[in-house]
């Protein structure tokens, strides 16, 4: 019994040591992965912001940017980023200038051009109702004639970002939404003013002439993260936590997970282990929750118990062997 007890104690000590070692390795892995993944995400989004800001400078540098000039600049800009899929220009049009603006577009070859607004579905485009001002899509690259004239100000998600960008004088992104053909995407709005302001003062909103916009898809970013996650043995969840909305954008388990995305979002948020990294980019609060994979944790626990069970079996065999030897010696002694 003494031998079996010693082996069991040894098994638990080895298991505890292995558990502490695994936890230490996981902590180092989480810290390294958290920085690498969040830095990569921030770099890509910031590059998208730089692109749309550079487009806005095109309007400051020229008295009148025509469609051909816009598309040439946009074509070169889009080659530098895998996540920026579309660039747009939406001028400010007051209701007094509505008819003149429509006629101008038709004179440029868009015979059916009119101001439209979003219907109940993404594909529903209706004739725009009367408003004090409109921000219709006028230049789009790649060209999409069916979206020309859409008043983006008529959409709640866009209107919030446009107001925020105007008030702060810097790029602001909409919430992420699933919209074809880009899947999970957001729009980054940059306001353009009649006169460029110097210093850090926010420009006068009355000088607003329009918005340059980038359509940014997160799918390529998520896929790049997925490749890293599969090699590291960690799970990654990406949230948009702007205004504490906790919108789950991606769940990337490194192995097959027993948890659904919603279950993982709840379980990993309340877990004491793991790493949480928050970033504010494009005026949105992005949150990464990075956690050891549940399957890996189960494998480690199973390995410990297999080790303990193995030592217990060895102990039983040792005791049985000793008892057999002692019985043989006792039989020999009795025979003598």
Residue 10 half-sphere exposure toward CB, CA atoms < 13 A: 13
pLDDT of residue 138: 97
For domain 62-217, the CATH architecture is 2-Layer Sandwich (3.30)
Query: Greater confidence, 250 or 271?
Result: 250
CATH 3.30.450.350 domain span(s) along the chain? 62-217
pLDDT of residue 306: 53
pLDDT in tens, 144-194: 888 899 999 999 999 999 999 999 989 999 999 998 888 899 999 999 998
Cα dihedral sign for 189, 47, 65, 197?
A: positive
Sequence-distant contacts of 27-31: CB under 8 A, at least 24 apart: 29/232, 29/233, 29/234, 30/234, 30/274, 30/275, 30/290, 30/291, 30/292, 31/275
pTM, entire model: 0.78
Instruction: Tell me what the mean pLDDT of segment 59-72 comes to.
Output: 90
pLDDT in tens, 251-307: 888 777 667 777 777 776 666 557 888 999 999 999 998 877 655 444 444 545 555
pLDDT in tens, 126-150: 999 999 999 999 999 998 888 899 9
pLDDT of residue 261: 77
């Amino acid at each position: 019994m003494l031998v079996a007890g010693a082996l069991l104690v040894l098994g638990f000590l080895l298991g505890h040591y292995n558990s502490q070692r695994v936890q230490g390795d996981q902590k180092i892995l989480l810290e390294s992965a958290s920085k690498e993944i969040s830095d990569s995400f921030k770099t890509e989004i910031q590059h998208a912001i730089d692109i749309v800001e550079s487009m806005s400078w095109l309007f400051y540098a020229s008295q009148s940017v025509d469609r051909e000039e816009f598309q040439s600049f946009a074509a070169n800009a889009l080659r530098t980023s895998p996540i920026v899929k579309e660039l747009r220009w939406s001028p400010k049009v007051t209701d007094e200038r509505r008819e003149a603006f429509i006629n101008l577009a038709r004179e440029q070859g868009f015979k059916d051009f009119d101001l439209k607004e979003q219907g109940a579905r993404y594909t529903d485009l209706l004739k725009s109702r009367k408003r004090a001002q409109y921000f219709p899509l006028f230049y789009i690259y790649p060209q999409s004639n069916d979206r020309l004239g859409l008043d983006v100000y008529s959409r709640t998600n866009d209107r919030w970002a446009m107001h925020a960008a105007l008030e702060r004088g810097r790029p602001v992104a909409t919430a992420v939404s699933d919209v074809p053909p880009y899947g999970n995407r957001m729009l980054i709005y940059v306001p353009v003013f009649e006169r460029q302001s110097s210093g850090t003062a926010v420009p006068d909103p009355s000088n607003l002439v329009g918005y340059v916009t980038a359509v940014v898809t997160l799918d390529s970013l998520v896929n790049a993260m997925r490749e890293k996650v599969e090699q590291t043995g960690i799970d990654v969840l990406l949230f948009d936590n702007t205004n504490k909305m906790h919108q789950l954008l991606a769940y990337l388990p490194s192995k097959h997970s027993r948890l659904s995305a919603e279950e993982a979002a709840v379980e990993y948020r309340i877990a004491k282990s793991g790493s949480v990294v928050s970033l504010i980019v494009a005026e949105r609060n992005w949150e990464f929750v990075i956690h050891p994979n549940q399957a890996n944790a189960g494998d480690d626990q199973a390995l410990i118990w297999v080790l303990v069970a193995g030592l217990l079996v060895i102990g039983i065999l040792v005791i049985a062997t000793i008892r057999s030897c002692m019985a043989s010696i006792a039989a020999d002694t009795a025979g003598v």
